Structures are given as C-alpha cells and as structure tokens.
Amino acid sequence: MSSKISVVFAPKREYYNFNAFIKTLIYCLILTYFSLNSHYPFIMDYS
C-alpha cells in the first residue's frame, strides 16, 4: 500500500532512479553472498 502511495506522489523519474538503486543494491548483495560462499554448491545434494 505504501509503495503505491509513493508511486503516486513521487515524480516518476525519481521513482525509477530509486528502483534502479534498489535493484543494484540487491544485485551487489547477491554477488557478495556468492563470492563469500563460493566453496558451497548452489544446490545442496544430500542424496
């Protein structure tokens, strides 16, 4: 609900910049996570 309100009131350009910032942040976090846990397989096979 709050996201819809922010979309309505915020300028579209700032909203898209914020969206890109969040996506970049998540992407960097995922890259950091996998580089830290590179010695673990992505899917653990216990069988």
Domain boundaries, the chain: 2-36
pTM: 0.46
**Alpha carbon distance 40, 47 (integer Å):** 16
Return the ∠ at Cα 25 (arms to 33 and 31), rounded to 5°.
Answer: 25
What's 11's DSSP letter? -
Predicted local confidence at residue 15, as pLDDT: 73
What would the pLDDT profile of 1-47 be if each residue is shown by its tens digit? 555 655 566 667 777 788 888 999 999 898 888 877 766 655 555 54
